[in-house]
């Protein structure tokens, strides 16, 4: 048994002092490759190049990392009911807009079959859901520039079909989590899957989307990726409050527990 303490550090220098402290024997981080390389190889391009050539990392202890990627949202070209189409449009919008698109697994690329008859209906449903979705404040540094840059990029046409069928396609995708009929964040929220980059031989020198996994409550060894499947009608996917508001009684219980632990929970029960 041990202790966990959360620290909110005021500046990068305090963070550097912490991760390089003699009592720290391993580091885990989430963020981007720029932050990872600054931790492992040094704070300037010159230092990083010198240390890489000498194979002399600044960080002397093991590091695992979860760095995100350009996550695709892939729609298979079968016939959806109107309800299923709306559910999947909601899934996409939540994946796009949650935390203003700054999550490590935010949906960044939409892949549709070129000859899918429901493409126009799906895109219009997405636009309709977007218009009714509240957005978080755009706090993340550089988000305005990134959004404008993305809007000006011309993407090539999507593939016309999924080769070898859906199951084979899921097997071949090199992502740490593949979610079927849901945003991959659902697997992280439920806590039953591993979470991290696809295990493809990454190292601290060539980190890709990260090294190692978190989660893994069943202690499975040698995990390459996790696949999370849920019904196409969205029945097994947690939904944001603006889509499915939490009942008042349940909200009272949750808030009571957050504010005052078990005593607050019991007061919420009695208040009912």
pLDDT, position 42: 92
Residue in 89, 72, 76, 78 with CA at minimum distance from that of residue 184: 72
Cα 108 to the chain's mean position, in Å? 11
Average pLDDT over residues 231-251: 64
What is the CA 215 to chain-centroid distance, rounded?
13
User: Is the per-residue pLDDT at 242 higher than 80?
Assistant: no
Could you give the 3-state DSSP secondary structure of residue 252? helix
**Looking at the DSSP assignment, which residues form a beta bridge with residue 211?**
65
**Average pLDDT of the residues of the chain:** 80
Strand-pairing partners, residue 179, are 228
pLDDT band at 151 (very low <50, low <70, confident <90, very high): very low
Instruction: Return phi, psi of residue 184, to 5°.
Output: -60, -20
Domain spans in the chain, listed from the N-terminal domain onward = 12-61, 71-200+215-229, 245-272
Nearest to 33 by CA among 72, 7, 70: 70
Specify the pLDDT at position 97.
85
Instruction: Write the pLDDT tens digit of every residue in 30-81.
Output: 888 888 999 999 989 999 999 999 999 999 999 999 887 888 998 888 889 9
Residue 272: predicted pLDDT: 54
147 Cβ contact list (under 8 Å, min separation 6): 101
- Dihedral in degrees, nearest 10, Cα atoms 100, 102, 104, 110: 60
Would you put residue 238 in left (φ > 0), alpha (ψ -120 to 50) or beta? beta
Local confidence band at 155 (pLDDT 50, 70, 90 cut-offs): very low
Q: What is the pLDDT of residue 140?
A: 67
pLDDT tens across 108-133, in order? 889 998 889 999 999 999 999 988 88
Q: What angle do CA 175, 178, 183 make, to 5 degrees?
A: 120
In this predicted structure, the answer to whether residue 231 has a pLDDT above a threshold of 90 is no
Tokens 């799906």 sit at which residue?
Answer: 122
pLDDT band at 235 (very low <50, low <70, confident <90, very high): low
Residues 194 and 213: their CA atoms lie apart, in Å, by: 6
Q: For the chain, what is the largest distance between any 2 Cα atoms, rounded to a whole number of angstroms?
A: 66
Q: Is the pLDDT of residue 135 over 90?
A: no
User: What is residue 165's predicted lDDT score, i.e. its pLDDT?
Assistant: 55
In Å, how far are 111, 139, 164, 173, 250 from 178, measured between CA atoms? Answer: 15, 28, 17, 8, 31
Q: What is the pLDDT of residues 8-18, one digit of tens each?
A: 887 888 888 89
pLDDT over 70 (residue 245):
no
**Nearest one of 190, 158, 88 to 129, comparing CA atoms:** 88
Chain center to CA of 225: 14
Please check the confidence at residue 262 and state whether its pLDDT lies above 50: yes
What token pair was written down for 88?
């999947």
Cα of first residue to Cα of last residue in the chain, in angstroms, is 37
């Amino acid at each position: 048994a041990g202790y966990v303490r959360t620290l909110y550090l005021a500046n990068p220098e305090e963070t550097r002092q912490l991760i390089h402290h003699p009592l720290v024997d391993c580091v885990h981080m989430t963020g981007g490759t720029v932050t990872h390389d600054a931790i492992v190889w040094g704070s300037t391009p010159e230092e990083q190049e010198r240390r890489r050539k000498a194979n002399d990392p600044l960080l002397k202890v093991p590091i695992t990392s979860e760095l995100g990627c350009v996550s695709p949202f892939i729609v298979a070209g079968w016939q959806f009911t109107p309800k299923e189409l709306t559910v999947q449009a909601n899934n996409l919008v939540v994946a796009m807009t949650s935390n203003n698109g700054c999550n490590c697994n935010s949906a960044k690329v939409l892949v549709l079959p070129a000859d899918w008859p429901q493409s126009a209906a799906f895109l219009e449903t997405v636009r309709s859901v977007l218009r009714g979705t509240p957005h978080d404040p755009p706090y993340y540094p550089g988000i305005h520039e990134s959004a404008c840059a993305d809007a000006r990029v011309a993407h090539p046409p999507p593939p016309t079909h999924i080769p070898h069928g859906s199951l084979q396609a899921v097997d071949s995708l090199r992502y740490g989590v593949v979610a079927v009929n849901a945003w991959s964040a659902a697997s992280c929220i439920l806590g039953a899957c591993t979470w991290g980059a696809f295990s493809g031989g990454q190292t601290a020198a060539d980190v890709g989307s990260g090294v190692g996994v978190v989660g893994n409550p069943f202690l499975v060894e040698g995990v390459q990726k996790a696949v999370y499947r849920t019904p196409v009608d969205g029945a097994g996917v947690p939904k944001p409050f603006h889509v499915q508001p939490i009942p008042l009684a349940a909200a009272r219980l949750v808030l009571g527990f957050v504010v005052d632990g078990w005593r607050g929970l019991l007061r919420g029960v009695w208040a009912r």
